[in-house]
Amino acid sequence: MITIAVTGARGRMGSLIIENITRAPDMKLVAAFDIMDVGTHCAENVVISHADRIDAILKSTHPDVLIDFTIADAAVRNIRSAVRNNVNLVVGTTGLDPYQDEITEIIADNVSAVIAPNFSIGVNLFWKLLAEAALYIGDWDIEIVEAHHRHKKDAPSGTAVHAARVMRNVLGEKEMVYGRQGICQRGGEIGIHAIRGGDIVGDHLVLFAGDGERIEIKHQAHSRQAFAGGAVRAARWVMDAPKGLYGMDEVLGF
């Protein structure tokens, strides 16, 4: 039985992941943390603990894996706590770019960790297609447009930032332009645009525009299950992985 703790247990992702764990015959939820609804049940026999108590509770429950979908600064604190307590990690929280070096140093070869800005299988394939397209038509104008629900806190999305990174790995350093207003001559940049509204789960479109034609590569998530299923799959995978830091490429065998 794989034992799991979840941080962000009351969130949109955290609560869906808990539902997935509860249904999985090979998994058991042993701890859950949030800063809201502390003391309420999130599964049979599991009550939400305040995030401040994470160290003590990880020590007493000793889960195999901590799954974190919170906010960036909380995720860094939770990663530290997991490493102190020898707990493997699956982290889906986005906005971690400014903390990348710190996180790499904390994890080193202390635990096994999968950190991914997007756990959906489709998005991971989408990134592969972008790298391929950039190889052949990277000199066309490239624009990334992403759309998410009105509650999303960070912009642009981690998935859009990673899409840009994947193409820059092929094309070399390129300027990034975030939205445009007023007089703004297009150069060789990659443009990124973030739309926020309603309950959009997550759309990403990359437009390659040439003379007289264009190609659009698009991914649309219909439900958060696309991410939750991937995170649970990563939790199974990380159990047997040698210590170190991994992405979804390794989990999916791409």
Ligand X SMILES: NC(=O)c1ccc[n+]([C@@H]2O[C@H](COP(=O)([O-])OP(=O)(O)OC[C@H]3O[C@@H](n4cnc5c(N)ncnc54)[C@H](O)[C@@H]3O)[C@@H](O)[C@H]2O)c1
Catalytic residues: 148, 152
The amino acid present at 26, given as its one-letter code, is D
Closest to 94 measured CA to CA, from 120, 68, 112, 113: 68
Structure tokens at 160: 């859009």
Query: What are the E-state strand segments in the chain?
Result: 2-7, 27-34, 41-43, 46-50, 65-68, 88-91, 112-115, 141-148, 176-178, 190-196, 202-209, 214-221, 244-246
Q: Does 87 bind ligand X (CB under 6 A)?
A: no
Name the residue nearer to ligand X (CB basis): 143 or 233. 233
Residue of 8, 63, 156, 191 interacting with ligand X (CB under 6 A): 8
- Report the amino acid identity of residue 245: L
Three-state DSSP string of 166-202: HHHHHHCCCCEEECCCCCCCCCCCEEEEEEECCCCCE
- Binders in 51-80 for ligand X, by CB under 6 A: 51, 69-71, 74
User: Cβ closer to ligand X: 92 or 191?
Assistant: 92
Give, as ranges, the residues between 222 and 251 that touch ligand X (CB under 6 A): 227
Using CB under 6 A, pick the residue from 10, 162, 204, 233 that binds ligand X: 10
Window 88-127: contact mask with ligand X (x via CB under 6 A): ----xxxx--------------------xxxx--------
Beta bridge partners of 90: 67, 114
Q: Is 81 in the site for ligand X (CB under 6 A)?
A: no
Does position 184 interact with ligand X (CB under 6 A)? The reply is no
Give the interface with ligand X as residue ranges (CB under 6 A).
7-8, 10-14, 33-36, 51, 69-71, 74, 92-95, 116-119, 227
